[in-house]
Amino acid sequence: MPTQDELFSAVDALLEEVAQNDLPSPAERRRLREAAGLSQTQVAAALATRRETVASWESGKNEPRPPQRAAYARFLEKLAERFPAPSPEQPTTPPAAAVPPEPAQPRPPSVPVLPQPAPPISESPAPGNTQQTSAQQRAVQQPGERPTARPRPKTTPRKPSARPGPSAPPAAADPCFENGPLAVIDVDGDQMAAYCVGGLVLDVPAKNVAALVDWTLTEGRLGQSRLHRHGRDADPVLVLTPAALERYGLPVTLSPEERRAGRLHEHHKVVKQVKRAELQLTQLGFGPWARLYRDPEGARRRCVQLCIPTWGALPVEEWDDKNDPRLPTMPAADLARFLGTYAERVMTPRGTTAVTGLELMTALRPPTRAEKDPETGEFQQAFNTDALTELYDVVECEVPDEHPMLKGRFARHHQRTPAEMLLEEPYDWCRELTDDECMKPYLVAIDVNMAFAAAANGLTVGLNGPTHLTGNPRFDPALPGSWLVDLSHVDLSRVEVGGRTLDADRLPSPFTPRGDRPEGPAWYATPTVAYAVELGFEVAPIEAYVRTRTGRYLDPWYKRLRDAYIATMADLGVSTALEGEEFLHAMARSRHTDPTLALVLKAIKATAKGGIGKLRQRNRGQVPYYEPWPALARPTWRPDIRAAVLATVRVSMHRKIMKTAAATDLYPVAIGTDALVYPSPGPSPLDFLPYTPEGKPVPGTFRLGVSPGMIKHQGTQTVLWAEEQFEQHGGVFNIANHIKNDGTTAEGE
């Protein structure tokens, strides 16, 4: 029998739901706010949500959910009393411009959450019974400065819904994530403090790690709402500073043995303390990204993830500036701003940027959902047809050399040929300058923004297992997969672009990463073969492995990263409205505008690149050669999708190279991943990029701008410098990887 408290809670939830059923129309919500002279930002601050969320309520894209719904209903009710709707005779305010779509979707109505397949980083739920000491919040005035304390207002806990059915609000009593997705735990005077997003600081009463985890789950109000209605909320993340590590009895750095193992020794006193508190650790143990959890309560996960930067949780190559590392000495408030901004625009970090990039795919395309059985009325797990949901047979030509499938297939140390393996990689090509090009004083490097993410936009990929086609199948560009075909007959000197025949000797081949012309049959991804057809050549596949169930799986992933990138660039002073000289000046200023946001930008780009790389994660020494490694157990281990993205990067770049050459008779001298080097009469990209008489970029060519797929200026060097480098390094030197204004080596995005 339910207890009296449970019955009262159910009745309260029912009454609350009845009170919230009727809200004004979206247009009326906007009218009331504007009549009061309030901005969406002010309303969002009062309701502890985001401006984009309020915008989505006023556009009708989403409906408010508890606990904000009740407060929002009361807010609108009071405004309606003060600003009644005008009579039909009175003129009304003209409609405002459409509200831009919200990057992150708030939690919509959903059915009870069912367990989902565990992601690569060990997943489990986490803690519950601990101290109930109330936290206090303080507004941070300056980074590193302790602000004046004020008590945190009480919040009403989210209650279960009393109305059944898919349209009901979430049934689970999830906490309100009013304090943001994560917190940086640091020592503040004589006590512990949690630095949260937005300058918020909470007093932390926990005296040990176990109590810290339980405090997070009971009082911390940390976490992030799901990005998809069938997904799940992100677990809270606690970042431990060196001072916090010492206070909690943890080493500031791991010993060499522990670093090799990637975790704290199981006999360490803190590990024993955690186990005595009946907290569980995942198979990864207590490492740089430790997960501590208790068994779930119904559909509610109870899990906290610890991030320990001094143990290697935030590699400098992904999260920091290699030339001037800032994270080791970054104040806790700034670190919270850095990681919190990334979490709000991308998602709560789950590990490296590559791991987070892959997790973002599944967060936006959950493999499962809860579906009601029409006969029994009970909910059961069902698969989503637009997601990667299960393991399928792999294809020999698509797997890397160490895959178990290849055991005994080739002689030892055999180097597989293009006819034996799918070799779709970014460009790494460089050629000698012609005499005319040597007469130009400069070499200007341009860089494609978010090239890997841009290539994923609109890309059709396979969602099921491979179908083997034999007997010279007919090429179908609508079928993603791998094709064995001979493209050696493709001669670029026979291709006309804009009525002009190009100089093939100065062009890289679009079919090989090194830019060499193919010598015979080879395996190619569908975008590469489709480009040969686009150039006007016949293709005759010998065999193929294709996927017959297809979809644009990566579209929401691209849009999320695109919005994060553009929003961060806008904060740095570079908007999508800027073009030409104005854009170049804004980009130059952005490097010195906000060092913390510059790190956010780098992390976003690394997430895009690393997420694609994770689709074919290789054996990193976890197991011997030809033995299965952990990544192979993921439905998202899909080397064919990675190959399709990289093929699209290469052919998209080649297509623009051809258009630019036709318009200007200029050809690149080097390409490194997503950077191209052109000889130029001046030091700026504007000195060689083609424009129409009206001042617009020639259609189909490279275009300066901040959006993914557009280009920016990477750096400029003299032709004399290039000749010296060639003489010093010989023919193995790719100048595209060494021309960058800030002096670092270009690595692509």
Q: Which of 8-22, 247-261, 399-413 has the lowest mean pLDDT?
A: 8-22
Please check the confidence at residue 41 and state whether its pLDDT lies above 90. Answer: no
Confidence at 748, pLDDT banded by 50, 70, 90: very low
Q: Tell me, what amino acid is at 4? A: Q
Instruction: Specify the 3-state DSSP secondary structure of 469.
Output: strand
Phi, psi at 691, each rounded to 5° = -130, 150
Query: pLDDT band at 553, cuts 50/70/90?
Result: very high
pLDDT digits (tens, 9 = 90+) for 219-245: 999 999 999 999 999 999 999 999 999
Give the pLDDT confidence score for residue 9 in this predicted structure. Answer: 55
pLDDT score, position 366: 95
The pLDDT value recorded for residue 147 is 35
Model-level pTM greater than 0.85? no
pLDDT, position 68: 81
- CA distance linking residue 247 with residue 208, whole number of Å: 8
Which residue in 294, 290, 304, 296 sits closest to 235, CA to CA? 304
pLDDT at 13: 53
pLDDT digits (tens, 9 = 90+) for 485-522: 999 999 999 998 988 899 999 999 999 999 999 999 99
Q: Cα separation of 429 and 733, whole Å? A: 9
Band (300; pLDDT cuts 50, 70, 90): confident
pLDDT at 165: 31
Name 8's Cβ contacts closer than 8 Å, sequence gap at least 6. none
Angstrom distance (rounded) from CA 333 to CA 310: 17
Average pLDDT of the segment spanning 246-263? 93
Domains of the chain, CATH where assigned: 17-82 (1.10.260), 136-147+177-343 (no CATH)
Buried/exposed 153-185: b ≥16 CB within 10 Å, e otherwise:
eeeeebbbbbeeeeebbbbbbbbbbbbbbbbbb
**Whether residue 411 has pLDDT greater than 50:** yes
Provide mean pLDDT across the span 20-36: 81
Q: What band does 151 get if pLDDT is binned at 50, 70 and 90?
A: very low
Q: What is the pLDDT of residue 38?
A: 86
Average pLDDT, rounded, for the chain: 84
Q: Which residues contact 730 (CB under 8 A, 6 or more apart)?
A: none
Q: How confident is the model at residue 375 (pLDDT cuts 50, 70, 90)?
A: confident
As a whole-number percent, the residues of the chain with pLDDT over 90 amount to 64
Beta-carbon count within 10 A of 309 CB: 22
Check if the beta carbon of residue 671 is closer than 8 Å to that of residue 735: no
**In this predicted model, what pLDDT tens digit does every residue of 172-205 receive, in sequence order?**
334 568 999 999 999 988 899 999 998 999 999 9
Q: For residue range 526-550, what is the model confidence (pLDDT) as tens digits?
A: 999 999 999 999 999 999 999 999 9
Taking residues 386-408, report their average pLDDT: 94
Give yes or no for a contact between 615 and 641, defined as CB atoms under 8 angstroms apart.
yes
pLDDT at 96: 36
Choose between 592 and 245: higher pLDDT: 245
b/e code 324-354 from CB counts within 10 Å (16+ = b): eebbeebbbbbbbbbbbbbbbbbbbbbbbbb
Q: Average pLDDT, stretch 626-634?
A: 94
The pLDDT of residue 174: 42
How much is the pLDDT for 127?
36
Identify the pLDDT of residue 607: 97
pLDDT confidence tier of residue 126, bands split at 50, 70 and 90: very low
Phi and psi of 112, rounded to 5°? Answer: -55, 140
CA atoms within 13 A on the CB side of 137: 16
Beta-carbon count within 10 A of 576 CB: 13
pLDDT at 413 over 90: no
